[in-house]
Structure 1
Amino acid sequence: MRNFKEIQEILGTPPDVKKIYLIGCTGAGKTSLVQHIIGSKKHGFPVTSQRRTTIAPTEYVIQKNIPYKTTIILKNKNDVLFAIEELIQGAILKAKQDNSVIEDIIFELEQSPDDRFKLNQMVSSDTFSKIANDIITNVLPPIQAKDINDETLLSNSFIKSEIDKIVAEILAEIEENFKIACKNTHTPFSNETLVIENIDNKDEFILKTKKLLSHDFGSISILAEYIRIEGDLLVDWLDPSLEFLLIDGEGIGHSLGEKRDTLSARHYNYFNYCNSIVLIDDANDPFAAGGHGAIEGIFLNGYQEKFKLVFSKTDKLEQTDQNAYFRRNLNNLRNALKQDDIDFKEENKDTFKLNALDDKTINEESKKSIQRLLTNINSSKEKIQSL
């Protein structure tokens, strides 16, 4: 896996505009906000759901008078092989359990437990059925005959050779489907970036990008490591003079190994890189999941001047006096942060409220909040650190 500096070197220097990093728990509404900012909600792009959706950090370079262009950095072959092997190992361990059925084995093969690697986007159900049957027919009997336990299972030479055969079969299908998706214009697992360009129509450009990066079968999103999408993407109800770079990354707690109350180190590269850090938190349960930990990490490490707080899903609040509700929650957070000597000064008036982000047409109240947020960021003077 490439580090942040290597990725930026591949992509090249972005324009001299304000850089904004969106952070928040999975499902808080980061990607929905992006949809409204670039006016792509009608196309369902980027893909959103209540599950872990953003599987590759994506930059949106929003600037007037630049051509539409999508650049996709693909994962290294070894990273993909490792992910496939993990799924196969999990399927074999599942098959070894008593009362396991073929559907259980297929379920283990289709995608990783944290939804980050969805193999069923590039491998057919027929292939999964065949592999599951092969595991039951060819792999299980020797395991049972030799009484191989879970600890020695994956170090057994026979099992390893069977896993290698399955990996090769899956990889061949991925490579074939990749060529189909890219119309044989790109070689899978090369060091070259995959580029979409020379399209003048915004809708056509978004739909072509979506086709490659959707969660439908035949997309290549599981192979994407990092994405940059650029062009005159700003929706027409926002101030046309706004220009910025927006980064939508994996949500807090996206990986099951990441604690929701502790901010992962992967976020800090973006904190250094960006002028503003926008935390999007669910108004119905503010600071209960990863929001509290994110604020601790931001403030303890000296990024408080870059911090902006957005409350999403305010339309679902069952509060007569919403302002009083937000003031109470902010005050409770302030008192909790005092225990770590964090001077949290954000008041309700400093926050931004968004509602009904899932609707195809955003209402005027949310439009004004988004305009105010972006205008505030564009006029700010936060400094960024070099990579």
Structure 2
Amino acid sequence: MSYTASKVKGVGRHSWSIVFRHPVRKDPTGKVGLRVRRGLGTTDENEAQRLVDQMNEILSDSSLWDLSAKPLALLRYNEKIVAAFYDYLEPKNTDYYSLREAHLPLPGADQGYAKVLLVGSTGAGKTTLLRQFIGSDPKKDRFPSTSPNKTTVSDIEVICSPGDYEAIVTFFELREIRLHVEDCVMAAVLAKVNGMDDNTVSMRLLEHSEQRFRFFYVLGDPNLDLDDEEEEDEDQELSVNEHRVTTEERSRFLAVIKGYLAQVNELASVSTKVKEQLIKELNINPDSLDSEDKTAFEEIFDEELRQKKEFHALVDEILDEMAERFKLLKDGELEYDGDQWPLTWKYRTKDRTTFIENVRRLSSNYAPQFGKLLTPLVQGIRVKGPFMPNWYNVVPRLVLIDGQGIGHTVSSTSSLPSQTSRKFDACDAIILVDSAKQPMQTAALSVIKELVASGHISKLRICFTHLDELKGDNLPTRKSRINHVGASLNQVVSHIRETLGYEVAVNLDLLLSERSYYLANLDQVMQEKDKHTLEQLKDLISTLETSIFVEKISEAIPFYDEANLIIAVQNATKRFHDIWRGRFGKASSSNEPAQHWTRLKALSRRLALNYDNGEYDNLRPVSELKDRLMEHIRIYLNQPVRWVPGNVSDDEKKNAVDRIAREIHSKLFDLTTQRLWTDRLTSWNNAFNLSGRGSAQRRIEHMERIYDQAAPIPGEAATTQSHEYLLGIRQLVKTAITLKGGRFV
């Protein structure tokens, strides 16, 4: 196959870009020939053509298609052209945390700061609690943004410190945003083909199916009529300069979106032709296909449509329009990557109002600003300044970390997102925010369960919100409501005792009760009538400031039998496989529902292309294997062969085991990530690349094979893989036990 480059100029753009198919890299459908589009930084057509000619020389010489040829290419060609080709040959995994850390380091225990992680179900009120901690007015500031739905995918880190206001913001890579835009374009085209109305088509185009990337924040919402909205409070209107979308701007945004929808209609026509051609070539009747053939046809249709130049032209236009929004950041400093896509934004000022106004462009979900917000493009926000509530005397020495909601999980096998549980080790306190309006749900239970298993339970604080909304004839007083909510904690303790063992639940009911806070009217400015909530909040902040974690050294020495560890690993691995058997539509005791082929393919794509921490929605194989292992290893740790001395208290035993569990948890993520993901990238690529009749079932077989090789059940078959798997876990656990004061018989 021959590869050629060409120059293009986007709609309304002055500078030229180069477009070519990369002869080595695969595209999102798994085919070699990744489409690359990169700005050339010139408005001169002759200069642009000269650069295109250089790229065509590289594309015509296969000896240059290896990373080792880059030094030679730099001697011959313009560095922009060399970068455009070879950047895609180098492994590229942006370390967003390190980018923020390089500019604005998080202070820690050495500086007297406690790091506090807020976790909770979407809509429980954790960001509203954060607002109270930092003194953010719910009407004038509206920072960070709150919503009963998924608001943003970014982490927000707040350093409470005297001095100027500073910010460092990191943005998702262009390749990741492009992937989601392509999904949106495909969803919109299919909606049009299936005869859905224009409103549905436009929302499929502007909002990703996972509801994590709401691109109408950036481009404008054609379905939003602000004239029909209820009038807002007067003091909110008079707060700060909102930079609301004007009538003229809204008209322009809608015209641009209308142009996109016209292209969607054209693509729908193209897709109809593609469909007819496939029907003719394959000699089939789509209406009479069985489920297997229908699945194959849908996959082929998807891949064919994604190869069309009209498809990529629309994606390019949308990305170009998004890039224009960065020009609205008049203050601060933008840093760009090799794709000329913003990598970071840095800002510093003494003025709090101006600071929040600028940062809100990158974090808001305020409807009157739809079309001028960058929120969906933001990966992480770190701010520093004298943030404090008006009801507290000093700026608390806290680092407050708020991230994506953990969702409303309904399965007892659900695991937390890896980006959440990976933070447990580095934090001094973990606040679980849960709504008092209903009994504790599975998502909140999953947090407590993992904290117990991993030895971090001493860091937990629980905040029950919406206490004012808990009503009933049997709940006439605040005390009765608190007792009603507190009763759900007994059920939590019972569940943990049943699943992780009696030893781990010693005094757990007392600990959870003592560390629970009951809050009302958090979405309002605290007043005299809120004295009970104010007392709770003041006590909580005071407690958090002194919560810097110091590991307790226990005099108790547990002695373990290594043979029992093998049984623990065997049971954990069996549970992991049982979960996935259910998801693969096979007999299982896990009660997990069978997953549609599109969800399994989406997961394989995340793992093959290294996106989203290798997770798709609630499918998190790396975290799930880690959690099953951690749970069963914790049960093993709770039951040593003997204790020395023999008269050790239950609390001392628990402290000793917690030390070991924390050490294991900190290392286990790396082991499961390596075995299940990084060591098997080729296998995940093979699973993702499958297409044609029977591909859905073959993908399941590929995934089963990956799991069998990465996590073989010990004892079922003596293989090299099972030996390596068991050896790796045994070494990890044995090292942790001996390092933290345990012994083996």
Same-fold call, TM cutoff 0.5: yes
* Other-structure match for 1:245: 399
Contact 1:94/1:108 (8 A) holds in 2: yes
Match of 1:19 among 76, 98, 115: 115
Aligned-partner residue type, residue 193 of structure 1: T
The one-letter amino acid of 1:129's match is: K
Structure 1 stretches of 4+ with a deviation exceeding 6 A read 256-260, 384-387
**Which residue of the other structure, out of 167, 181, 184, is the alignment partner of 1:70?**
167
Q: For residues 155-198 of structure 1, give each alpha carbon's deviation from its aligned partner in whole angstroms, at most 9, with x where no partner exists.
A: 2167532221111111111111222344795366546520121x
Counterparts in 2 of 1:376 and 1:260: CA distance versus 1, 3 Å: farther
Report the more deviating stretch, 51-60 or 179-188: 179-188
What RMSD in Å do the two structures reach over aligned CA positions?
A: 2.7
Quick one: which of 214, 218, 223 aligns to 1:118? 214
Q: In the alignment, is the contact (CA less than 8 A) between 1:261 and 1:294 conserved in 2? A: no
Report the secondary structure of 1:13's partner residue: coil
Change over 3 Å in CA distance of 1:63–1:186 after alignment to 2: closer
Give the secondary-structure state (helix, strand or coil) at the position aligned to 1:172. helix
Cα distance per residue 1:70-109 (max 9 Å; x no partner):
1101111111111111111111222222x32322211101
Q: Does the 8 Å contact 2:489/2:512 carry over to 1?
A: yes
The 5 Å alignment of 1:147-296 reads 147=278, 149-156=297-304, 159-182=307-330, 186=334, 189-190=340-341, 192-197=343-348, 199-215=349-365, 216=369, 217-240=371-394, 242-253=396-407, 261-296=414-449
Residue 347 and residue 267 in structure 1: after superposition, are their counterparts in 2 closer, same or farther (change >3 A)? closer
> What is the alpha-carbon distance in structure 2 between the residues aligned to residue 260 and residue 39 of structure 1?
38
* Residue 314 of structure 1: aligned partner: 467
Letter in 1 for 2:170: I
- Whether 1:131 and 2:260 are equivalent positions in the alignment is yes
Specify whether residues 122 and 350 from structure 1 end up closer, same or farther in structure 2 by C-alpha distance, changes over 3 A only.
closer
Q: Determine helix, strand or coil for the equivalent of 1:377.
A: helix
| Structure 1 pair 78–347 and aligned structure 2 pair: CA distance change class (3 A) | closer
- Max radius of gyration: which structure? 2
User: What amino acid sits opposite 1:126 in the alignment?
Assistant: A
Tell me the equivalent position of 2:202: 106
Report the CA distance shift for 1:354/1:54 in structure 2 as closer, same or farther (over 3 A): farther
The residue that corresponds to 2:274 in the other structure is 143
Distance change (3 Å), C-alpha of 1:157 and 1:220: closer
Offset at 1:323? Answer: 3.3
- For the 8 Å contact 1:24–1:252, the answer to whether it is kept is yes
Paired residues for 1:313-332 under 5 Å: 313-318=466-471, 319-320=475-476, 321-332=480-491
2:185 equivalent in structure 1:
88
1:30 aligns with 2:126: yes
Which sections of structure 2, spanning at least 5 residues, go unmatched? 1-92, 220-252, 280-296, 552-662, 668-745
Change (3 A) 1:206 1:130: same
The offset of 1:313, in angstroms, is: 0.6
The letter of the residue matching 1:356 is N
Separation (CA, whole Å) in 1 of partners of 2:377 and 2:412: 25
Evaluate the alpha carbon distance shift between residue 323 and residue 145 of structure 1 in structure 2; reply closer, same or farther with a 3 A threshold: closer
Q: How far has the Cα of 1:315 moved from its partner? A: 0.7
Letter of the structure 1 residue corresponding to residue 494 of structure 2: N
Report if the CA contact (8 A) 2:329-2:358 is conserved. Answer: no
Task: Evaluate the alpha carbon distance shift between residue 259 and residue 176 of structure 1 in structure 2; reply closer, same or farther with a 3 A threshold.
Answer: farther
Kindly indicate whether the alpha-carbon contact (under 8 Å) linking 1:63 and 1:230 is maintained by their aligned counterparts in 2. yes
Task: Answer with 219-228 or 88-97: which moved more.
Answer: 88-97
2: CA distance, partners of 1:53 / 1:203: 22
Q: Percent identity?
A: 22
Give the counterpart letter for 1:162 in structure 2.
E
| SS at structure 1 position matched to 2:334 | coil
Q: Secondary structure at the match of 2:464?
A: strand
Q: 1-side partners of 2:375 and 2:411: how far apart?
A: 22
Moved more, 264-273 or 153-162: 153-162
Q: For 1:76 and 1:350, locate their aligned partners in 2 and report how far apart those are by CA, in whole Å.
A: 40
CA distance in 2, matches of 1:244, 1:200: 20
Is the aligned partner of 1:356 residue 2:521? yes
CA contact (8 A) 2:100 2:168 kept: no
Distance 2:410 2:309 in 1: 29
Distance 1:103 1:109, change over 3 A: same
| Residue number in structure 1 paired with 2:547 | 380
Higher share in helix: 2
Structure 1 residues 213 and 331: CA distance shift in structure 2, 3 A: closer
Range with greater deviation from structure 2 (163-172 or 341-350)? 341-350
CA 260–250 in structure 1, closer or farther in 2 if over 3 Å, else same? farther
Deviation at residue 31 of structure 1 after TM alignment: 0.8
Matched to 1:194, the amino acid is W
> What secondary structure does 1:272 align onto?
coil
Q: Matches of 1:158 and 1:55 in 2, distance apart?
A: 26
Secondary structure at 1:154 match in 2: helix
What is the TM-score with the length of structure 1 in the denominator? Answer: 0.90
Moved more, 150-159 or 200-209: 150-159
Please point out which of 366, 370, 373 is paired with 2:533.
Answer: 366
Is the 8 Å Cα contact of residues 277 and 307 (structure 1) preserved in structure 2?
yes
Aligned CA distance change for structure 1 residues 144 and 133 (closer, same or farther; 3 Å):
farther
Residue type matched to 2:516 in 1? T
Alpha carbons 1:234, 1:240 under 8 Å: kept: yes
8 Å CA contact 2:323–2:341 kept in 1: the answer is: no
1:105 is paired with a residue whose SS is: helix
Equivalent-residue separation in structure 2 for 1:132 and 1:258 (angstroms): 39
> Aligned in 2, Cα 1:379/1:8: closer, same or farther, shift over 3 Å?
same
Residues 258 and 264 in structure 1, CA contact (< 8 A), matched pair in contact too: no
Q: Secondary structure at the match of 1:245?
A: strand
Q: Could you tell me the TM-score, scaled by structure 2's length?
A: 0.48
Post-superposition offset of 1:136: 1.9
